[in-house]
A = this chain, B = another copy of it.
Amino acid sequence: MAALVDRRHIDFLLDEVLGLDAILALPAFAAHDRAGVAQILHTAEALAEAEFRPSYRHLDENEPRLENGRVVLPEQIGSALAAFRAQGFPGMTASAEHGGLGLPRLAANAAFLWFQAANVSIANYAMLSMSAAELLAAHATAEQKSRYLAPLIDGRTFGTMALSEPQAGSSLGDITTRATPLGDGRYAIRGTKMWISGGEHDMAENIVHLMLARIEGAPPGVKGLSLFVVPRKRLDAQGRPGIWNNITLAGLNHKMGQRGTVNTILNIGEDGETVGEIIGRPGQGLACMFTMMNEARIGVSMGAVAHASAGFLHSLDYARKRHQGRLPDNRDPASGQVPLVAHADVRRMILAQKIAAEGGIALGLKLAGLADLKSAAPSEHERADAGLVLDLLTPVFKAWISEECLAANFNAIQVLGGAGYTRDHPVEQHYRDNRLNPIHEGTNGIQALDLLGRKLAMADGRALRLLGEAVRKTQGPCGARAIDAFSALEKATAHLTHLRGEAGPAASLAHAADVMEIAGATAMLWMWADMASAATQALSRYTAADRPFLEGKIATAAAAAAYLAPRIDGALRRIMAGEAIHHGTSDAMLG
């Protein structure tokens, strides 16, 4: 069975490209060293293989059921998460003061990849809980942390994001769930939430919903939203889960993939009072929620790259073992068949996956490293700058990478041919599971609006300038292609900023998808240029046996440039020509 994630690639990124050593040298991470990180990666892979991977297909075929108003989960989910908890993984990134391990994100997100690649439906429960812990660590009071945060970090309690409602999906400003003050700092919450992953189950001693609601009398729109922690079971005076908090399961959504992650519709406060506590200040709900949402957006696309990685390695393994056909120069039908991987078009599909999977992992871990610098760099200035680049790249990673990695899974199936379309191979399920990632935690259309409407202009364009400084430092054979790509992004941004001033935001934002195309391809080329540069430098240090590994990085970077540069050109041409695809069409002209 092929590996889920190539450990050599992870080590190469950590050591040669992304500077794990420098991050480990920061005082915040003094408790950790490179050997410890290696041990955690090893444990993650072993645990993912032993406890997560075996039930991948089973959970697809036996999705959670609704029985007598309760969710029945396949037992493999609980047992895998119990093993995950036993090894301390839920607290990987939480700080030591809250009972966590305080690992750098760079190491933790790399380790978590194996769980996502092995069985994303199980990993989701953990991912949401870890993101909920981040939110509480950032915004809860000390007293709230003592009650809600520790059980999340310990893995006894799970967390959810409870934002969407039937009439409010992408448009969070239309949330109508109400919060009525109870006079003691607590609120009675009432409304309906939907698309809530992990919203109801019996697997943990409690579930805490991080929920957006509108305090009575608050203004309409997002400014009227506040954030609440709403537990499934109310905590008693000792902070232990006690009586049921009147959150009723109204139904389940049945998805194309990621079926093991139960997706719920919840009625809040319908059968009695549901009590929540406010987190942060009234009216600051969305801002607080973004701590979790940004985590989740990165987590979503780490899931996408994990699928791409697993599909890439499975199809490569298959292409090496399966013999079919002969090379074009061989006219002898009596000669033996060659491995699929020998065929040019199969190799094209393998390399396209390698670009997406390895480049996607690189970008995802680049973001993790920026998160580490944002929280732990020595100076306020460095922390702020890292945060800006992280904020700029988050929608790019979420949107562009999730689509590229789905395309990679298309190719994984295609390498296998008919076999890839059957449920006998995991690539079929990876493709279906991965199809969710362009949708949840903000659709890719919303991400593109965020990028063009907010992030590119953020801090007077400082985030973009900082990214440009980083990209322009890129050396090596593909550096020039990455720098050209960034220039296209700058040009598009300047043009659309001008257009916004001239013609208003709608005219500019109509080009959001094309700007995302340029930004995504630029980020990808940057990563591949950095990898090619690092590989070139490492050639003299690595053993002869490792040379093909390094040469593969250099060759793949060239292939990435050959495929991505024309896409950037096309998107830039459309932007400069004002050819947003829908221009000039009325509704009646659509069909």
Give chain A's interface residues, CB within 8 Å of chain B: 6, 9, 164, 167, 169-171, 173-174, 195, 219-224, 253-257, 312-313, 316, 320, 324-329, 333-334, 337, 341-352, 354, 358, 406, 410, 413-414, 417-418, 420-424, 428, 431-432, 435-436, 438-440, 443-445, 448-449, 453, 504-506, 509-510, 512-513, 548-549, 551-552, 555-556, 558-559, 562-563, 565-567, 569-571, 573-574, 577, 579-591
Among candidates B548, B556, B569, residue contacting A570 with C-beta atoms closer than 8 Å: B569
Among candidates B327, B345, B505, B513, residue contacting A445 with C-beta atoms closer than 8 Å: B345
Among candidates B316, B325, B577, residue contacting A591 with C-beta atoms closer than 8 Å: B316
User: Given contacts A169-B324, A254-B423, A333-B220, is CB(A512)–CB(B418) below 8 Å?
Assistant: no
Q: Which of A167, A312, A358, A417 neighbours the largest number of chain B CB atoms within 10 Å of its CB?
A: A417
The reply to whether B170 and A590 contact each other, CB–CB distance below 8 Å, is: no
User: Given contacts A173-B333, A574-B562, A590-B552, is CB(A506)–CB(B328) below 8 Å?
Assistant: yes
Among candidates B164, B423, B579, residue contacting A562 with C-beta atoms closer than 8 Å: B579
Can you list 26 A-B contacts with CB-CB less than 8 angstroms, sorted by A residue number? Answer: A171-B326, A171-B337, A220-B334, A253-B418, A254-B422, A256-B421, A256-B428, A316-B591, A320-B587, A328-B509, A343-B445, A344-B510, A350-B582, A413-B435, A421-B435, A551-B586, A552-B588, A556-B585, A556-B589, A558-B579, A558-B584, A559-B581, A559-B585, A562-B581, A566-B567, A566-B573
User: Given contacts A253-B422, A350-B590, A506-B328, is CB(A337)–CB(B582) below 8 Å?
Assistant: no
The reply to whether B591 and A505 contact each other, CB–CB distance below 8 Å, is: no
Q: Considering only CB atoms, which chain B residue lies closest to A563 in the complex?
A: B581
The reply to whether A555 and B220 contact each other, CB–CB distance below 8 Å, is: no
CB neighbours of A586 from chain B (8 A): 548, 551
The reply to whether A505 and B414 contact each other, CB–CB distance below 8 Å, is: no
Count identical subunits in the complex. 2
The reply to whether B418 and A440 contact each other, CB–CB distance below 8 Å, is: yes
The reply to whether B449 and A345 contact each other, CB–CB distance below 8 Å, is: yes
CB neighbours of A552 from chain B (8 A): 585, 588-591
The reply to whether B566 and A570 contact each other, CB–CB distance below 8 Å, is: yes
Q: Considering only CB atoms, which chain B residue lies closest to A571 in the complex?
A: B566
Among candidates B171, B448, B556, B567, residue contacting A345 with C-beta atoms closer than 8 Å: B448
CB neighbours of A413 from chain B (8 A): 435, 439
A513 to chain B, nearest CB (A): 6
User: Given contacts A222-B333, A320-B587, A567-B570, is CB(A581)–CB(B253) below 8 Å?
Assistant: no
The reply to whether B418 and A590 contact each other, CB–CB distance below 8 Å, is: no
In the bound complex, CA of A174 to CA of B347 (Å): 22
In the bound complex, CA of A255 to CA of B586 (Å): 40
The reply to whether B414 and A436 contact each other, CB–CB distance below 8 Å, is: no
The reply to whether A590 and B316 contact each other, CB–CB distance below 8 Å, is: yes
Q: Considering only CB atoms, which chain B residue lies closest to A348 in the complex?
A: B581
A241 to chain B, nearest CB (A): 29
In the bound complex, CA of A548 to CA of B169 (Å): 31
CB neighbours of A424 from chain B (8 A): 253-254
Q: Considering only CB atoms, which chain B residue lies closest to A553 in the complex?
A: B589
The reply to whether B421 and A431 contact each other, CB–CB distance below 8 Å, is: no
User: Given contacts A256-B423, A326-B171, A453-B328, is CB(A559)–CB(B587) below 8 Å?
Assistant: no
The reply to whether B351 and A590 contact each other, CB–CB distance below 8 Å, is: yes
Q: Considering only CB atoms, which chain B residue lies closest to A195 in the complex?
A: B418
In the bound complex, CA of A442 to CA of B562 (Å): 27
CB neighbours of A329 from chain B (8 A): 504-506
The reply to whether B422 and A352 contact each other, CB–CB distance below 8 Å, is: no
In the bound complex, CA of A172 to CA of B128 (Å): 49
Among candidates B337, B428, B505, B571, residue contacting A174 with C-beta atoms closer than 8 Å: B337
